[in-house]
């Protein structure tokens, strides 16, 4: 609001009154949010190795799990202010995920379980009356992997992971709820030292073998709430 002091004449400089007077609240620049989701992943295991602990012999291995259940939960803060950034939004969150997949065959069953912890950052741009928001981001952290096959538990080991992420979010009108689809392409490293009787199973080979990451295309459908 602009006021002018009449005692200063017509050429006086206007006096600007603060927009947020007594009893008025300033606009928050964002809000905390919670999101939970579920989806599927397709883990691929390229050219790892099995080391015979008695003879030292090394045998390359690979694997392909056609379907694995993946669940997620995240909590974070989303900067979401039309007055400062227009249609842009930014968020950072703590991210947790569980992935489990198994294969059954006449020779026995196998089960792989991976738990992910990480920190994620994303940037989005809202369109269609601010209801639809495509976004891009990056995420990474630590992973705990456990593997079992033919009734033998290979133990648990820690590794690390990172992933680019993209997707789209839909804000349900007149509510604090949103629905999102996230797509990840996770790269996982350091999953070494799983054991079976007399052998060690490594994701990252040595002794001249050409090894790669364990990698996973992942799709997640999630629902979120802004507090």
Rounded to whole angstroms, the Cα distance separating 175 from 224 reads 11
Torsion angle (degrees, nearest 10) of CA 43, 211, 112, 100: -30
Q: Is 215 in contact with 204 (CB distance < 8 Å)?
A: no
> What is residue 104's predicted lDDT score, i.e. its pLDDT?
61
> 192 is written with which tokens?
């070494």
Percentage of the chain beyond pLDDT 90 is 51
Confidence of residue 204 (pLDDT cuts 50, 70, 90): low
> What is residue 206's predicted lDDT score, i.e. its pLDDT?
60
Contacts of 153 (CB under 8 A, 6+ apart): 146, 147
Please give the DSSP secondary-structure letter assigned to residue 151: T
Q: Is 222 in contact with 183 (CB distance < 8 Å)?
A: no
CA-wise closest residue to 142 among 113, 112, 119, 165:
119
Maximal C-alpha separation, the chain: 100
| Strands (E) located in the chain | 2-3, 15-16, 30-41, 44-52, 58-64, 68-79, 88-105, 108-125, 132-149, 152-171, 177-189, 192-196, 199-202, 214-226
Contacts of 60 (CB under 8 A, 6+ apart): 47, 48, 49, 205, 209
Arithmetic mean of pLDDT, 115-142? 96
Is the pLDDT at 181 greater than 70? The verdict is: yes
Between 25 and 213, residue with greater pLDDT: 213
> What is residue 15's predicted lDDT score, i.e. its pLDDT?
44
Q: Which of 23-27, 142-146, 174-178 is predicted least confidently?
A: 23-27
> What is residue 82's predicted lDDT score, i.e. its pLDDT?
82
Rounded to whole angstroms, the Cα distance separating 59 from 14 reads 83
Q: Is 127 in contact with 135 (CB distance < 8 Å)?
A: no
Arithmetic mean of pLDDT, 144-158? 89
Q: Is 135 in contact with 122 (CB distance < 8 Å)?
A: yes
pTM exceeds 0.75: yes
Query: What does each C-alpha distance from 196 to 53, 103, 199 come to in angstroms?
Result: 10, 18, 5
Phi and psi at residue 198, to the nearest 5° = 85, 0
Arithmetic mean of pLDDT, 13-37? 64
Residue pLDDT, tens place only, 43-76:
887 767 888 999 988 888 777 777 899 999 999 9
> What is residue 106's predicted lDDT score, i.e. its pLDDT?
55
Q: Is 73 in contact with 100 (CB distance < 8 Å)?
A: no
Is the pLDDT at 102 greater than 80? The verdict is: no
> What is residue 197's predicted lDDT score, i.e. its pLDDT?
87
Is the pLDDT at 211 greater than 80? The verdict is: no
């Amino acid at each position: 609001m602009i006021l002018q002091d009449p005692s200063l004449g017509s050429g006086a400089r206007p006096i600007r009154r603060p927009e947020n007077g007594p009893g008025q609240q300033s606009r928050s620049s964002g809000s905390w949010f919670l999101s939970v989701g579920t989806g599927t992943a397709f883990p691929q295991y390229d050219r790892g190795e099995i080391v015979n602990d008695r003879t030292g012999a090394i045998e390359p291995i690979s694997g392909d799990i056609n379907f694995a259940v993946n669940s997620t939960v995240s909590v974070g803060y989303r900067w979401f202010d039309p007055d400062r950034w227009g249609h842009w939004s930014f968020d950072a969150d703590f991210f947790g995920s569980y992935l489990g997949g198994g294969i059954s065959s006449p020779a026995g069953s196998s089960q792989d379980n991976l738990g992910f912890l990480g920190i994620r950052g994303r940037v989005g741009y809202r369109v269609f009356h601010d209801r639809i928001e495509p976004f891009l981001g990056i995420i990474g952290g630590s992973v705990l992997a456990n593997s079992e096959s033919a009734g033998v538990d290979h133990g648990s080991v820690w590794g690390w992971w990172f992933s680019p992420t993209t997707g789209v979010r839909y804000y349900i009108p007149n509510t604090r709820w949103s629905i999102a689809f996230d797509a990840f392409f996770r790269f996982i490293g350091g999953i070494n030292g799983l054991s079976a009787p007399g052998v060690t199973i490594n994701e990252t080979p040595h002794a001249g073998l050409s090894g790669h990451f364990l990698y996973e295309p992942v799709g997640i459908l999630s629902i979120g709430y802004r507090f």
